[in-house]
Amino acid sequence: MSRQELTEKITAIKRARGLRWRTVAELIAGGTSPIFVTAALFGQMRLTADESQRAADIFGLSPEEALLLTEVPYRGSLPPGPPTDPLIYRLHELVNVYGTTLKALIEEEFGDGIMSAIDFEMSLDRVADPKGDRVQLTLNGKFLPYRRY
Amino acid sequence: MSRQELTEKITAIKRARGLRWRTVAELIAGGTSPIFVTAALFGQMRLTADESQRAADIFGLSPEEALLLTEVPYRGSLPPGPPTDPLIYRLHELVNVYGTTLKALIEEEFGDGIMSAIDFEMSLDRVADPKGDRVQLTLNGKFLPYRRY
Amino acid sequence: MSRQELTEKITAIKRARGLRWRTVAELIAGGTSPIFVTAALFGQMRLTADESQRAADIFGLSPEEALLLTEVPYRGSLPPGPPTDPLIYRLHELVNVYGTTLKALIEEEFGDGIMSAIDFEMSLDRVADPKGDRVQLTLNGKFLPYRRY
Amino acid sequence: MSRQELTEKITAIKRARGLRWRTVAELIAGGTSPIFVTAALFGQMRLTADESQRAADIFGLSPEEALLLTEVPYRGSLPPGPPTDPLIYRLHELVNVYGTTLKALIEEEFGDGIMSAIDFEMSLDRVADPKGDRVQLTLNGKFLPYRRY
Amino acid sequence: MSRQELTEKITAIKRARGLRWRTVAELIAGGTSPIFVTAALFGQMRLTADESQRAADIFGLSPEEALLLTEVPYRGSLPPGPPTDPLIYRLHELVNVYGTTLKALIEEEFGDGIMSAIDFEMSLDRVADPKGDRVQLTLNGKFLPYRRY
Amino acid sequence: MSRQELTEKITAIKRARGLRWRTVAELIAGGTSPIFVTAALFGQMRLTADESQRAADIFGLSPEEALLLTEVPYRGSLPPGPPTDPLIYRLHELVNVYGTTLKALIEEEFGDGIMSAIDFEMSLDRVADPKGDRVQLTLNGKFLPYRRY
Amino acid sequence: MSRQELTEKITAIKRARGLRWRTVAELIAGGTSPIFVTAALFGQMRLTADESQRAADIFGLSPEEALLLTEVPYRGSLPPGPPTDPLIYRLHELVNVYGTTLKALIEEEFGDGIMSAIDFEMSLDRVADPKGDRVQLTLNGKFLPYRRY
Amino acid sequence: MSRQELTEKITAIKRARGLRWRTVAELIAGGTSPIFVTAALFGQMRLTADESQRAADIFGLSPEEALLLTEVPYRGSLPPGPPTDPLIYRLHELVNVYGTTLKALIEEEFGDGIMSAIDFEMSLDRVADPKGDRVQLTLNGKFLPYRRY
Amino acid sequence: MSRQELTEKITAIKRARGLRWRTVAELIAGGTSPIFVTAALFGQMRLTADESQRAADIFGLSPEEALLLTEVPYRGSLPPGPPTDPLIYRLHELVNVYGTTLKALIEEEFGDGIMSAIDFEMSLDRVADPKGDRVQLTLNGKFLPYRRY
Amino acid sequence: MSRQELTEKITAIKRARGLRWRTVAELIAGGTSPIFVTAALFGQMRLTADESQRAADIFGLSPEEALLLTEVPYRGSLPPGPPTDPLIYRLHELVNVYGTTLKALIEEEFGDGIMSAIDFEMSLDRVADPKGDRVQLTLNGKFLPYRRY
């Protein structure tokens, strides 16, 4: 069973049982971000052995499937090319529109380097607004300066 | 003169005068986000006539160039394909790794729809951290539900 | 079962029973546009639980398949690259030929922003014409102005 | 001078003089759709000799440039790949999301064939709406049945 | 069963029985071009119900398979990119080498428009030649003038 | 001067003088197909020294430009990817729709081999038709059998 | 069974029995080049009925599989894009590095035309060399001059 | 001046003076293969200082241009994607058709490794044939075995 | 069974038994680099018959699977396009950022030629560092000078 | 002046003066790696103001050009797609062949994370060998573990 097939199996069981990702994430790893745990169930992060055991209990996974959840995945959740799904495409578009601007402003503030995508965390919030609630994503990554050598 | 050439001209003058984007943005449109104003100078947003006039004063632009800054640009700041610049690529990578996760969690919270990339704002902050300061990006877009018809 | 497989199953049953999409759409969600309902059966929109139940009755779907129809799909109905099917390609060609023109005229009329593809509806009509009937597509989307911030 | 350069020249003059495309189109070919005339100025359609002469008067074009406007162009107004500009991308997205649905419904209504992109016309309207005005595009093309032979 | 699988099934049976496409085409739709009928068996055109019934008799197809042959297919018989098969590539090469020439000469003769690929027919002939027989393809499509509006 | 620039120069002069390709071709190489001669002027075939001299007289070319017309060009008249121009795209579409059919029928008739694109000729005709005149292209290439060795 | 699957089956049997391609080729078609015969077993050329029968005997193929070997294949043995396998990539690299050189030198010697890839043969030899034996490939194709018409 | 521009300059002078590549190559580096020398003039190999001086004498190159000819170039003579020029495409096609066959036969004969494209030489010959002369290319590269470590 | 399927089978067994690649490599071919042996298990190198037998013992492979491990594979372990997995992408990025620099410095030191990827070895080390341990990769390939001929 | 043009200018001067990159690097920033300094001159790293001043002295750069060398560049030194230059391609090939192996072995040793391409250094050495000297590249990057959150 590939990681992709496991993702599909987990998604199907989640759907059939009417579960919510946030509930599942809390049961598997309370205190850990639901983004991180959901990403692991989607084959993008790995769980600890204990967390994987709890995921196996929830989803009725076999030992081999539970093991797979503890392995480092081959990351990348999208097919090649710009994503066709509108929700995901909007994120892609923002990177395309703001890419050079963010590069200029981050380097102006921090110097030559990058925002780490590894020493990184993200949160997702609903911001109430009378004109329509808003989605807020907060990306937070360590600044890594380019090493001179 | 194309918008791309104007961006290059502005960047060259900014470099030669040792200006900072945040200072320039404050002078052009104090109270507006430096991200928005810098994006306009990078050919991704447009300025008002007044703002454009101040930009022209700062950079010594011709009236035609100032006019160009008030026009809606053909947006997109990056060459085709995944961006090769490491700072920008990390953002691309985050969309690729977290794309399906964010889709699932946003839809679980808000229903079927998207985070608007038009009714949208973004901020960039430095978060002090003893283990190394962190870059924080906050993306905030109105949730737009899919219309049934 | 993936959404794509469900689309193929529904299409096969529809063919075998000699059904029409408009009839099916009316049975599933009378009063809703047949475009919207057909798009849902093609894995591009989602149905309500009630609508999905009626779809399941018509097509003899399992409860799991009915559930799948109520989920937000990963949108995008075409393979990568320009579509090879001539009917769909003509739409692609129109975007390519008229893209810059529509951008100029919409922005001239409405200002900087877009026609929403989310707060959007579409209709399809036959216009009788002695020289050969005509296909008329009406696209109607809310204008979303770019937010300054 | 290439057609692309002529488009850029016309656009620059239009900007410098503060003209509107609709006004220009009315002056060049009153009674003809502003979409058609603007598309011609954008290198996607051709003008008649008379229309071209009036365009030359408005924009101060040379005889050679005026001639170029009367030639059939090599059509296609966008760079390769999905368009990065958000306004144009939304149209691309609609083709991608609704492509298979429109194919099914057009063929159900008309039989095997296509909506012509040649014997075709389009209009653009503003539809007032208290929740925000709407952009309405009407595409109208002759149905062309596949010939059996 | 997809249309592609049906094409493969028909091809396998045709091979096993040592049939010729021209014979099959004559049996299915005598008087119709063997190109048209073979294209239908290859999933590029559709047959009438009667023709499909005769095809089903010849190839031992199930009722569902016969129905599939009467449906409008998603056209396009080649994988993406330039075709690797030398026979088909030569046609691709001819379009690439002669594309701009044919555009110029057709427009010079007919005005602004296209040769229809829908109101179209094609024939294939062997032309005897002492230096080696020749393949002759005749493409014949209605000229469609661009509509002014 | 590149061959592409020479093509653009010739096209501009042809436009300015109101010439027709067929007239030009007749003057340059009467008795030779206007398709062949126009293709040479478009950088896809080469002229003889005499023909090139006559072309130079007509278009006022320099000796170096005349020489360029006698050289074998780097063939290929279209940008990469499917052609965006509708007239040329229809030819591309025909190869895509009929590719596998033509392969089957040519091989059935001639055996394993190809229709040569080198020992090849093409003609273009107008076929009068009360329902609208038709464009007829006749492609004629020597059959080349695959060599066994 | 597709041609690709047949290639995989033949390869697996060849491996299991410890056969050599040259031995197999000699048994199937002694006197014919092992390159040609191996290419046929790899789905790039076709065998005669007799050869195919001998191949069927060697590999234990079914009559349908033997028939498949006598059919003209859809040629092309590599996935899209530059080949990743280093041995094959080196050939690709040679075409890329020497492409324009060979074009110039062949045309200088032979005139305007091509080296046929159809009326073509190839051989592979080991050339002993004290510094390390060498691979020698000899490509031999009929020169085909471009036809004037 | 880039290497590409130098190639174009050399080609233009060669054309204007009616030189032949083989003559030029003999003058520059008698005894060295004309393929190697022509490839150097096409920006794919480098000349020695003496050879470059002779090339400069022949083509009237500046000292800087002569120096450029002695530098290792960034190799690759073709635009991305399959080559559109028919002469070069045929070589590309041969790699595609015979790639897997050559891999199998070279590895069967030599073991695991490659034919070097660096310790490599090539020759081009005309082989007289009453049915039409033939182009013969001989590729000769050292076999390099994969190193175990 | 394809090589890709064998890789997946081996990986699954390795996971289920809690083995380490280094341990496995030592058992299969003590004294050979674990990189080489792991690469063979991942379908990129081949094992000797003895090594393959030991691999079969460890993983419970069938004789056919063991044979497959001794065959030269079709190399290339990644899907087309830049790799999406962050660990592997960083290597890709380094080639992109440093490609032209390494070319200049290697050629300056060694002359015109390449670092062989065939007569090549690589090692992987952990370098302890109080600020965080470091990954060290050492690539070592024979310099191959371009042959003049 | 773009960074790319500056790289070309520096390269041309370096060539004209017969300089070596290592000498230049030593003069600009003795004690810093010549790889780092050469990469800066190739537009992939940035110099300090002092270093840039010394580079300006060596190459006769204008103040604006010197400033450009102190700016963070848009990194990426290669055109899109696999590199065609053989020296650089071999590095690309190694990533492709060894990508999955290195991922497995680095993760086995270090856990889930990456080798940083930012906190990174590289060295290039000549290793004498009687069978031919060898190129040795040492890549050394900090291991960055994925952050749980």
Question: Does D135 score more than 90 pLDDT?
Answer: yes
DSSP string, J97-128: HHHHHHHHHHHHHH-SEEEEEEEEEEEEEEE-
How many angstroms separate the CA atoms of E18 and G68, rounded? 11
Task: Supply the pLDDT for residue A1.
Answer: 83
Mean pLDDT of C48-67: 98
pLDDT in tens, I79-99: 999 999 999 999 999 999 999
Smallest CA–CA separation between F85 and chain D, in Å?
Answer: 5
Q: Do chains F and B touch (3 or more CB pairs under 8 A)?
A: no
D56 domain-assigned: yes
Could you tell me which residues come within 8 angstroms of residue I37 by beta carbon, excluding any fewer than 6 positions away? Answer: I24, I25, I28, I29, I45, I47, I51
pLDDT tens digit sequence for I18-47 = 999 999 999 999 999 999 999 999 999 999
**Residues β-bridged to residue B125:** B136
Q: Which of F42, F69, F96 is the last residue of a domain?
A: F69
Structure tokens at A60: 């009725």
Confirm whether A61 is domain-assigned.
yes
Pair (B7, B65) in one structural domain: yes
Residues of chain A contacting D, Cβ within 8 Å: 81-82, 84, 86, 89, 93, 96-97
**Among the options H22, H90, H107, H134, which is catalytic?**
H90
Residues of C in contact with E74 (CB under 8 A): 84-85
Interface A:C, Cβ pairs < 8 A:
22
> Is the pLDDT reported for residue D87 higher than 90?
yes
Same domain, E94 and E62: no
pLDDT at F1: 84
Do F88 and E109 count as a contact with CB atoms less than 8 A apart?
no
pLDDT band at A107 (very low <50, low <70, confident <90, very high): very high
**Please, which residues bridge with residue A105 across strands?**
none
Q: Say if residue A15 is in the same domain as residue A65.
A: yes
Residues A8 and A46 in one domain: yes
- Residues of C belonging to the active site: 90, 93, 116
Which residue type occupies J90? R
The CA distance from B28 to B66, in Å, is 12
H125 and H95 within one domain: yes
* Distance of alpha carbon A147 from alpha carbon A81, whole angstroms: 32
Helix (H) or strand (E) holding E72: none
What's the one-letter identity of residue A22? R
Neighbours of A92 (CB within 10 A): 23
Domain count across chain E: 2
- Torsion angle defined by CA atoms of residues F127, F130, F132 and F135, in that order, rounded to the nearest 10 degrees: -10
Q: What confidence score (pLDDT) does residue J1 get?
A: 83
Our answer to whether residue D8 is catalytic in this structure is no
Q: Is I2 a catalytic residue?
A: no
Kindly state whether residue E134 falls inside one of the protein's structural domains. yes
The rounded Cα G124 to chain-centroid distance in angstroms is 11
> How does the average pLDDT of chain A come out, rounded?
97
Q: Are residues E58 and E9 in the same domain?
A: yes
Contacts 24+ apart (CB under 8 A), E36-40: E36/D148, E36/D149, E36/E121, E38/F101, E38/F104, E38/F105, E39/F97, E39/F98, E39/F101, E40/E69
Counts of helices then strands in chain H (DSSP H, E): 6, 2
Compute, in degrees rounded to 10, the torsion defined by CA atoms E107, E113, E119, E120: 30
**Per-residue three-class SS string for J22-46:** HHHHHHHHCCCCHHHHHHHHCCCCC
Same domain, F13 and F56: yes
Contact between chains at D75 and F81 (C-beta distance less than 8 A): no
Residue B78 placed within a domain: no
Q: Which two tokens stand for residue E104?
A: 């110029």
Distance from CA of C62 to the nearest CA of D (A): 23
Mean pLDDT of B79-104: 98
Does residue F132 register a pLDDT over 90? yes
Suggest the residue from J15, J42, J94 to mutate for an interface test with chain H (most H CBs closer than 10 A): J15
Q: What separation in angstroms does the CA of E86 have from each of D48, G44, G74, I70?
A: 44, 11, 9, 34
Q: What is the mean pLDDT of residues I117-123?
A: 98
Query: In a 10 Å sphere around its CB, with 0-12 CB exposed, 13-18 middle and 19+ buried, how is residue A123 labelled?
Result: middle
Q: What is the DSSP letter of B72?
A: P
Q: Do E90 and F133 touch (CB under 8 A)?
A: no
SS3 D43: coil
Q: Residue B87 and residue A96: Cβ atoms within 8 Å? A: no
Task: Give the residue-averaged pLDDT of H122-149.
Answer: 98
Residues A23 and A62 reside in one and the same domain: yes
Read off the pLDDT of residues I44-69 as tens digits, 9 standing for 90 and up: 999 999 999 999 999 999 999 999 99
pLDDT of residue C111: 98
> Which of chain I's residues have a Cβ under 8 Å away from the Cβ of A64?
12, 15-16
Question: Given its phi and psi angles, is residue C75 left (phi above 0), alpha (psi -120 to 50 degrees) or beta?
Answer: beta
Residue J85, pLDDT score? 98
pLDDT at B1 over 90: no
CB contact under 8 A, I36 and H114: no
What average pLDDT does the segment E1-28 reach?
Answer: 96
Q: Is D100 helix (H, G, I), strand (E, B) or coil?
A: helix
Residue E141 lies in a domain: yes
H-chain residues near G129 (CB < 8 A): 142
| J134 min Cα distance to partner chain H (Å) | 13
Report yes or no: B144 and B106 within 8 Å, Cβ to Cβ: no
Tell me the nearest-neighbour CA distance from B70 into chain D, angstroms: 10
* pLDDT above 90: residue E41: yes
Which residues in chain A touch residue D81, judged by CB atoms under 8 angstroms apart? 82
What is d(CA A38, CA A34) in angstroms, rounded to the nearest whole number?
Answer: 6
* Mutation choice for G interface testing from J78, J84, J95 by most G CBs within 10 A: J84
State the best of D78, D89, D93, D96 to mutate against chain A, taking most chain A CBs within 10 Å: D89
Classify residue I17 as exposed, middle or buried by CB count within 10 Å of its CB (0-12, 13-18, 19+). Answer: exposed
Residues I90, I125: one domain? Answer: yes
- By C-alpha distance, the chain J residue nearest A30 is J149
Q: Using alpha carbons only, give the angle D121, D123, D127 rounded to the nearest 5 degrees.
A: 155
- Packing angle between helix F21-29 and helix E86-110, nearest 10 degrees? 110
pLDDT (average), residues H101-109: 98
Tell me what percent of the residues of chain F surpass a pLDDT of 70. Answer: 100
Q: Measured between alpha carbons, how far is B38 from B50 in angstroms, rounded to an integer? A: 16
For residues J23 and J38, the answer to whether their CB atoms sit within 8 Å is no
Q: Give residue B53's domain range.
A: 3-69
Facing A78 at nearest CB: one of B34, B99, B141: B99
Quick check: C148 and B32 CB within 8 A? Answer: yes
d(CA A3, CA J6): 47
E79 neighbors E64 (Cβ within 8 angstroms) = no
Contact residues on chain J for G97, CB-CB shorter than 8 A: 84, 86
Question: CA-CA distance, A114 to A122, in Å (whole number)?
Answer: 16
Residue of A nearest to I15 (CA): A67
Chain F: residue nearest G143 by CA?
Answer: F118
Please indicate, yes or no, whether residues B98 and B61 belong to a single structural domain of this protein. no
Mean pLDDT value across residues J74-100: 98
**CATH assignment of the domain containing H13:** 1.10.260.40
Contact B136 A138 (CB under 8 A): yes
Considering A5, A93, A107, A121, which one is annotated as catalytic?
A93
Chains in contact with chain J (at least 3 beta-carbon pairs closer than 8 A): A, B, G, H, I
* G91 and H69 Cβ atoms separated by less than 8 Å: no
Question: Which chain E residue is nearest to residue G117, measuring alpha carbons?
Answer: E86
> Which amino acid type is present at position J85?
D
pLDDT at I1: 84
Using CA coordinates, name the residue in chain B closest to D9: B1
The string of pLDDT tens digits covering residues H31-40 is 999 999 999 9
- Å between F63 CA and nearest CA of chain E: 24
Best mutation target among A84, A87, A90 (most D Cβ atoms within 10 Å) is: A84
Chains in contact with H, where contact means 3 or more Cβ–Cβ distances below 8 Å, are E, F, G, I, J
E7 to chain D, closest Cα gap in Å = 19
Which stretches of chain A are DSSP H helices? 3-17, 21-29, 34-41, 49-59, 63-69, 86-110
Q: Which pLDDT belongs to residue E1?
A: 84
pLDDT digits (tens, 9 = 90+) for B108-141: 999 999 999 999 999 999 999 999 999 999 999 9
pLDDT digits (tens, 9 = 90+) for G9-51: 999 999 999 999 999 999 999 999 999 999 999 999 999 999 9
For residue F108, being part of any structural domain is answered with: yes
| Cβ-defined contact of E82 to H86 (cutoff 8 Å) | no
How many residues in total does chain C contain?
A: 149
**Position F140 in a domain:** yes
pLDDT at D122 > cutoff 90: yes
**Is the predicted pLDDT of residue C1 greater than 90, yes or no?**
no
Do F64 and F92 lie in a common domain? no
* Cβ distance of B86 and J71 shorter than 8 Å: no
Chains contacting F with at least 3 CB pairs below 8 Å?
C, D, E, G, H
Same-domain status, F60 and F105: no
Nearest residue, CB atoms, D81 vs list B67, B80, B117: B80
Could you tell me if C84 and E79 are in contact, meaning their C-beta atoms sit under 8 angstroms apart?
no
Average pLDDT of chain E is 97
Whether F38 is covered by a domain: the verdict is yes
Best mutation target, C78, C87, C89, to test chain F (most F CBs within 10 A): C89
**CB contact (8 A) between residue B85 and residue J74:** yes
Consecutive sets of 10 residues in chain G, 149 residues long: mean pLDDT of each?
Answer: 95 96 97 97 98 98 97 97 98 98 98 98 98 98 98
The CA-based angle F43-F46-F49, given to 5 degrees, is 130
Q: Is E17 exposed, middle or buried (0-12, 13-18, 19+ CB in 10 A)?
A: exposed
User: Looking up tokens 């689309």, which residue turns up?
Assistant: C7
Average pLDDT over residues C100-105: 98
Q: What's G129's domain CATH number?
A: 3.30.1160.10
Taking the C-alpha atoms of residue J90 and residue J101, their distance in angstroms, rounded to an integer, is 17
pLDDT at B84 over 90: yes
- C–D interface: beta-carbon pairs under 8 A: 224
Residue I127: count of CB within 10 angstroms of its CB: 12
Instruction: Give the pLDDT confidence of F60-116 residue by residue, as tens digits.
Output: 999 999 999 999 999 999 999 999 999 999 999 999 999 999 999 999 999 999 999
Residue C41 has pLDDT above 90, yes or no: yes
| D105 band by pLDDT with thresholds 50, 70 and 90 | very high
The C-alpha torsion from B40 through B42 and B43 to B47, rounded to 10°, is 20
